[in-house]
Structure 1
C-alpha cells in the first residue's frame, strides 16, 4: 500500500481532530492519529478496503477518538473506554451522524482494549482495536515499512507513560472508573503497588519504544 498521511476532511473530521488536540495530551493525540494510519495499513494488508463494512470516515472517528476518555472532558465516573465512547457519540450526534453509525463507533471505542471481543464485533471494532494495538508493537512487521514516516509526522513523545498517567489519574477518581480487571483498574493497582505498570515495562521491548 502506498500510504498517504492525509487524514479525512470535512466538518466531522475537523471536529474529531479538534476534540483530540484540545482535550488530550500531545502524546496521546499523536497516538490516536497513528492508530488510524496503522489501522488503514492493516485493512489494506487484509484486503478490507473494498469490504462493504469498511468506512474510512468512521474508522477515523473511532481510532482518533478512542482515548477521549483520558482527556480533559472525562470526569472519571466510568471506565475510560466507556466514558470516551460516550463523549465520542455525543460529538457524532452533533454532526448528525446516523444513529446506527454512532452505535458502531461507540462499540469500537468501548471495546478497543478488549482483546478477544473486539474482533468478534464487526470490522470497525476489529480495525480500531488492531490499529491501536499496532501502535504498541502488535503486527509490527505489517506496518514497519511505513512506521518511520508515521512517527516522523506524529512523534511518540513518551506516549506510553503519558497515556498510563492519564488513565490512572481518571481511574483514581471513582470506584466505577476502576473496576477489578478493567484496564484502568489494573493500571491503577499496579502503579500504587509497584510504582510502574506492566504496560510501561513492556514498552522497553516494543519495536517503537515508549
Structure 2
C-alpha cells in the first residue's frame, strides 16, 4: 500500500495497520477504496483550512464510516452511520485512545451524512464529512487540484459505474430499515432505488399525531 498520496501520509501505526487489515477483509473493494479516498480528501480539506487534527483518528473514522452498510448489520434497527460509529468505538477501545477522542470519532461517523451540521463542529468531524461528500458527490470538487484528484483516484480507482454501484450498495445496506432514513440524505437513496419506498414527511407526522390540535 502506497503511504504518501497527493501529499497525504497514510498513518503507519499498529492501530492504523489493524484497521486497514480489518476493513480489507470486511468490505468490498468498491467500499474499501471509497473509504481510502474519503480519508485523503478529508485530510486535504484540513490542510486547505490549516486545521489541526489527528491523522490516525481521521483514518480510523474514514475506514469505519460506511461499515454499517455491511451484511453483518442486516438486522440492525439503527441508522447505518450509528452502526459504523459503534463499531469504531469498540475498535478504538482496544487501543490507548482517550474517551473524548473516541467520542469525537463516533460523532464524525454518525454525522457524516447530516448536511449543515458537521462543518460547524470539531476539525475531525468537519473533515470527515467533507472527505466523504467530495468522493460521493463531488462537493467542493474544484477546491482540489487535478493532480491531487488524479493521484488519489489512480491509487484507489473509482471502479467502472461507481456512482450507480455506490447507490446500490447504500440502498442494499438500508433496505431492511427504511425508517432510519427519515431526515437524512439516505431517504433520497431508497426513494430512487426502491419503487415501494415511501418517505416519511415531517409535516405529515405533525398533522397525523395523537395531539387533538
The answer, yes or no, to whether TM exceeds 0.5 is yes
1:20 is paired with a residue whose SS is: helix
C-alpha distance after superposition, 1:129-168 (max 9, x if no partner): 0011111211112223311111010001133333322221
| Aligned CA distance change for structure 1 residues 72 and 21 (closer, same or farther; 3 Å) | farther
Aligned equivalent of 1:202: none
Give 1:125 deviation, angstroms: 0.6
Aligned equivalent of 2:143: 142
Give 1:66 deviation, angstroms: 0.9
The number of equivalent residue pairs is: 189
TM-score relative to the length of structure 1: 0.81
The structure having more radius of gyration, on CA atoms, is 2
- The separation in 1 between residues aligned to 2:8 and 2:72, in whole angstroms, is 27
Q: Aligned-residue CA RMSD in angstroms?
A: 2.2
Unaligned runs of 5+ in 2: 198-213
Give 1:77 deviation, angstroms: 2.5
Aligned equivalent of 2:183: 181
1:42 is paired with a residue whose SS is: helix
- The separation in 2 between residues aligned to 1:154 and 1:172, in whole angstroms, is 28
Structural mapping, 1:47-126, within 5 Å: 47-48=50-51, 51=52, 54-75=53-74, 76-126=76-126
1:27 matches 2:30: yes
Give 1:108 deviation, angstroms: 0.1
- The separation in 2 between residues aligned to 1:186 and 1:141, in whole angstroms, is 25
- The separation in 2 between residues aligned to 1:134 and 1:170, in whole angstroms, is 21
| Aligned CA distance change for structure 1 residues 59 and 175 (closer, same or farther; 3 Å) | same
| Aligned CA distance change for structure 1 residues 186 and 138 (closer, same or farther; 3 Å) | closer
Aligned equivalent of 1:163: 166
Aligned equivalent of 1:203: none
- The separation in 2 between residues aligned to 1:73 and 1:11, in whole angstroms, is 25
Segments of 4+ in structure 1 off by > 6 A? none
C-alpha distance after superposition, 1:45-76 (max 9, x if no partner): 1112xx3xx11111111122211111243334
C-alpha distance after superposition, 1:93-141 (max 9, x if no partner): 1223221111000000000011111112211110000011111211112
